[in-house]
Amino acid sequence: MKQAQVLNDKDIKRVLAAIAKRSYSGRDRAMFMLSLLAGMRVGEIAALKVCDVYEADGTVKDSIRLTKDQTKGSEARTVLLNAQAQEELRVYARLLSRNGEEPLFVSKWGKAMSPNSLVQVFGRFYKLAGLSNASSHSGRRSFITTLSSKGVSVRVLAVLAGHKNISTTQRYIEVGEHQLRAAVEMV
């Protein structure tokens, strides 16, 4: 099975431009950025409630505590949000009219989005951006590959990704020509 495309800076700009042209661009951008900046799975993003991300006063949390029911591996985990992800969620908060236990992301009909519906939404904006090999997993793969290329250990990456086994995490890491060249220049 072919792996999802890892997104470079140019691809990310194309995706963000494509999202900006869509209806529900604020929602779609927030979902994409959670995938790209926090490495979240689409199922985890779909399962989010407003209270998972925002405090009662509306401020963005610095981490998201996912319950075992919200994760793939049926084990609770914490997703850390960097400053950029928190800012993206502050911007998204301006569009929200929901709070508390209500779903963070809803369809045009106001219903909670399923993981499958997120896969479809991601597919549409990737297609609009002209990325034929990207999928709903591309943001997550890009998150892990980017951190790996910056020297973050595979053990730390596994924890951030919610993987029990580092061999799973290693399959997410794409090794490109630029990384190989940088490595040999270290000798």
The band of 96, judged by pLDDT with boundaries at 50, 70 and 90, is: very high
In the chain the domains, ranked by start, together with CATH numbers, are: 23-118 (1.10.443.10)
Cα distance from N-terminal residue to C-terminal residue, the chain: 35
Mean pLDDT lowest for which of 13-17, 49-53, 111-115, 163-167? 163-167
- The model's pTM: 0.92
Give percent of the chain above pLDDT 70. Answer: 99
Mean pLDDT lowest for which of 78-92, 95-109, 164-178? 164-178
Token pair recorded at residue 84: 């950029």
Task: Give me the amino acid identity at 81.
Answer: L
Find out whether 42 and 119 touch, Cβ atoms under 8 Å.
yes
Task: Give me the amino acid identity at 70.
Answer: Q
Find out whether 42 and 35 touch, Cβ atoms under 8 Å.
yes
The band of 1, judged by pLDDT with boundaries at 50, 70 and 90, is: low
Q: CB within 8 A of 129, min separation 6: which ones? A: 11, 14, 15, 17, 18
For residues 50-54, average pLDDT: 97
